[in-house]
Amino acid sequence: MKPKVTVRKFDAVIVGAGGAGLRAAIQLSESGFKTAVLTKVFPTRSHTVAAQGGVAASLGNSEEDHWHWHMYDTVKGSDWLGDQDAIEFMCRKANEVVIELEHYGMPFDRLDNGRIYQRPFGGHMSNFGEKPVRRSCAAADRTGHAMLHAMYQRNVKANTQFFVEWMALDLIRDQEGEVLGVTALEMETGELYAFHAKATIFATGGAGRIFHSSTNAFINTGDGLGMAARAGIPLEDMEFWQFHPTGVAGAGVLITEGVRGEGGILRNSQGERFMERYAPNAKDLASRDVVSRAMVTEINEGRGCGPNKDYVLLDITHLEPDVIMKRLPGIREIAIQFAGVDPIKAPIPVVPTCHYQMGGIPTNYHGQVVVPGKRTQNEIVPGFYAAGECACASVHGANRLGTNSLLDLLVFGKSAGETAVEELKKSPKAHKDLPADAFDRTLERLNRLNTQKDGANVHETRLAMQRTMQKHAGVFRFAHLLKEGVEKILEVQKAVNQTEIKDKSMVFNTARIEALELDNMIEAAVATMVSAEARKESRGAHVRDDCPDTPEHPNGRDDDNWLKHTLWFKEGNRLEYKSVNLRPLTVDTIPLKKRAY
Amino acid sequence: MTTRTLHFKIYRYDPDQDRKPYLQDISVEVDSNDRKLLDALVKLKAKDDSIAFRRSCREGVCGSDAMNINGKNGLACLTDLASFPEGKPIVLRPLPGLPVIRDLIVDMTQFFKQYHSIKPYLINDDPPPERERLQSPEEREELNGLYECILCACCSTSCPSFWWNPDKFVGPAGLLAAYRFIADTRDQATNERLDNLEDPYRLFRCHTIMNCVDVCPKGLNPTKAIGKIKAMMVQRAI
């Protein structure tokens, strides 16, 4: 017997209640549209809560700043792979969305004149790359927590309808390719629903848990990517993953770049401030990919610290204890809890740790999902929007700057919401009919999982995937390991297609949820490995041994052949490419240049 | 690598299968990479996939994995395995006082209902200015110790007043949030917020037992915030 699927109708359904989902929800709820927000966890438990250092905006509260400088830094940070229209849009909108957040009640730290406190951050410079500028708007080192709570609170005020602990399972698309909502599982009861909507907004976050060592939460399983890929939507630039320089060695927990913004220094086993050799100008505040590679080089060359020489030290012992207590209180807690050191007295052991997915579901800067079509390479998928880490607008290109992720989710959460509101105002009253096969994919997946015999263990299969990703697609990439990695990850995929759970209960079955999450993670993992193997150049976070720094190809970057976005399609496991938009909205193109800090 | 075996007694109840709750004896090998209780729970789940608990950030900031650990509420991800005495089983139960959905997962509806009842959002009816509303560093400092709450419910579910009157007493988490907005110089609804709490139960059921302070994983002090609201009530009356 087929399980029952109850259909519920809404104007809009938002999947995910982190920063991007909550920001989009404010837009829709305040416009009076009937909106459902589905979330696997209570909204304030979403992973935005863990962001620490701040959100970028050229408010210029402490010194002169300009959105155009911010745009330049972001394009350069992206190693020119970011789309310059989207980047201009984001940097110009930054002040507006940060001020709105302040008006929602966000408890930003303050300067003596009462304005929002700003601190320096990696890669953010004044006057087109000259010297570090204070651009990161911060609430101590708990900016994400303060932001997520402020936006949840605003949604409480706006009476947004949340479906808490509901997991979206699959996208519903009809013959014409239009998106008509999602299927979803109510975790508490195990019952199936379909959310039939005129606008579907994905704000499902990244898939950082596909790597073994990750700063990400358990819930970051790339659910939106999996749903999109299964429904025929390509994933863009998935080879670009950010390894954050400062994860706590062993535990993986994040230590914000704001620590270096406040004056923290990275040291090797000789006590040397090694970043001076790699980035003479920006030093410890160079872009994240640059710092992570420098750290791994130090460790590989035998200058790591500790009994196994496998980490470096983040030193803030020279800072005044008052500054640490005031600006970095959460970091002190984390260091004591997870590294067993009080950073006032001793440096923190850190290693580069997987942190952020630059790629994702392809969108334009209005938050609309776009795919290659007959006429253009960016045709809009009707009814489908994406924002935040699950989306690729693309503003981060090959490497994201710190504080641009919180900005991304505010700007594009809002713009996806605004576009959806405009489209809803234009659209006819009735919902388009659901196709006859609307629930088939979901029912097949659940039936397979419930009846699987002699299958693969979910925990072990996930671990095999994570270890494969870590070994074959890490901070430095090697041609032979990538090639081998593709074969290995396709092997893991076979196991994922045969996972078995012992627990068959209907009530809050977390074993079933973890198996369904693994279905999503593996799509992100395969996309990553296949895209990375194919890109025969070094750019931003993607650096290969067979594409070294040469006079013809500085830093190993090959603009003649590889200044283009990757698109990975699940069907046939194939790749296409599309051009990078080098044309901003109003200013001149930021011309290609060798990247140095 | 050195390993050791941890013994657990875990509260189990799946309404789909079990007639009544029971304590399951189960043990797991942990090694020196496993520092926190959550690490051990993840290993336990790999062994028996039916054990249900919430978890997400694993660094004490999302508030998912609150549970009753050897009789005291806390977060699994911030509880050191080294803190458990050798040879004694670790007893894990769901947060007390809320209905159990399954195993260590409780129904938090009542807890959030109380949080929502205090209007947990900034109220300011002036037209929004072009730039940020100004606030001095000293005014902003008033919010420290208030805004950091992660809504894990360790406090409210350790409070006898909340156990007895979860529908009438706001509880420490909700009252901490109420004072967070009262203390914010940008908020204009102080009187309305005090009116909302002027009732024999909503605020005044706090008898300063201070379990909330004792268990808060973020080191916050709801009792102090409640005291400040009470003082404002008195001041307003005279």
Per-residue pLDDT for B1 more than 80? Answer: no
Kindly state the average pLDDT of the residues A98-119. Answer: 98
Question: What is the per-residue pLDDT for A409?
Answer: 98
- Best of A310, A503, A516 to substitute, by most chain B Cβ atoms within 10 angstroms, is A503
Note whether B56 contacts A219, CB cutoff 8 Å: yes
- Report the residue from B54, B59, B128 with minimal CB separation from A103: B128
Question: For strand A361-362 and strand A391-392, is the pairing parallel, antiparallel, or unpaired?
Answer: parallel
| pLDDT one-digit tens code per residue, A127-171 | 999 999 999 999 999 999 999 999 999 999 999 999 999 999 999
Q: Provide the chain A residues 147-166 that lie in CB contact (below 8 A) with chain B.
A: 149-150, 153-154, 156-157
Q: What are phi and psi of A37, to 5 degrees?
A: -115, 115
Kindly state the average pLDDT of the residues A185-193. Answer: 98
- Best of B61, B138, B149, B220 to substitute, by most chain A Cβ atoms within 10 angstroms, is B61
> What is the band of B136 on the pLDDT scale with cuts at 50, 70, 90?
very high
Active-site position among A260, A288, A512, A544: A288
Q: Which residues pair with A314 in a beta bridge?
A: A266, A348
Environment class of A268 (CB within 10 Å of its CB; exposed 0-12, middle 13-18, buried 19+) = buried
Q: Closest Cα to residue A240, out of A356, A393, A352, A351? A: A356
> What is the band of A110 on the pLDDT scale with cuts at 50, 70, 90?
very high
Task: Please report residues of A whose CB lies closer than 8 A to that of B78.
Answer: 337
Q: Which residues contact A266 (CB under 8 A, 6 or more apart)?
A: A245, A260, A273, A274, A275, A284, A291, A295, A312, A313, A314, A315, A350
Query: How far does the CA of residue B140 sit from the closest CA of chain A (Å)?
Result: 7
Instruction: Look over chain A and give the mean of its residue pLDDT values, rounded to a whole number.
Output: 97
Which amino acid appears at position A471 of this protein?
A: K
Query: Is any Cβ of chain B less than 8 angstroms from the Cβ of A30?
Result: no
CA A57: distance to chain centroid? 19
Kindly state the average pLDDT of the residues A551-571. Answer: 97
Contact A224, A202 (CB under 8 A): yes
Question: What is the per-residue pLDDT for B238?
Answer: 84
Element (H, E) at A485: helix A479-496
- Best of A47, A218, A513 to substitute, by most chain B Cβ atoms within 10 angstroms, is A218
Sign of CA dihedral A542, A546, A550, A552: negative
- Report the residue from A47, A115, A501 with minimal CB separation from B49: A501
| pLDDT one-digit tens code per residue, A311-328 | 999 999 999 999 999 999
Task: Please report residues of B whose CB lies closer than 8 A to that of A458.
Answer: 49
Query: Is any Cβ of chain B less than 8 angstroms from the Cβ of A338?
Result: yes
Q: Closest Cα to residue A261, out of A237, A292, A232, A285? A: A285
Question: What is the per-residue pLDDT for A1?
Answer: 56
- Report the residue from A45, A100, A105 with minimal CB separation from B63: A45
- Determine how many CB atoms are found less than 10 A away from the CB of residue A39: 25
- How much of chain B exceeds pLDDT 70, in percent? 100
Sign of CA dihedral A391, A397, A398, A399: negative
Give me the residue label for tokens 């939106």. Answer: A224
Kindly state the average pLDDT of the residues B175-179. Answer: 98
> What is the band of A429 on the pLDDT scale with cuts at 50, 70, 90?
confident
Residue A583 annotated in active site: no
Task: Please report residues of B whose CB lies closer than 8 A to that of A45.
Answer: 56-57, 62-64
The reply to whether ipTM tops 0.90 is yes
| pLDDT one-digit tens code per residue, A16-49 | 999 999 999 999 999 999 999 999 999 999 999 9
Note whether A510 contacts B52, CB cutoff 8 Å: yes
Task: Please report residues of A whose CB lies closer than 8 A to that of B102.
Answer: 505, 507-508
The structure tokens listed for B20 are 């009544």
| pLDDT one-digit tens code per residue, A506-520 | 999 999 999 999 999
| pLDDT one-digit tens code per residue, A58-81 | 999 999 999 999 999 999 999 999
Note whether A110 contacts B135, CB cutoff 8 Å: yes
| pLDDT one-digit tens code per residue, A238-285 | 999 999 999 999 999 999 999 999 999 999 999 999 999 999 999 999
Question: What is the per-residue pLDDT for A413?
Answer: 98
Per-residue pLDDT for A12 more than 70? Answer: yes
Per-residue pLDDT for B2 more than 90? Answer: no
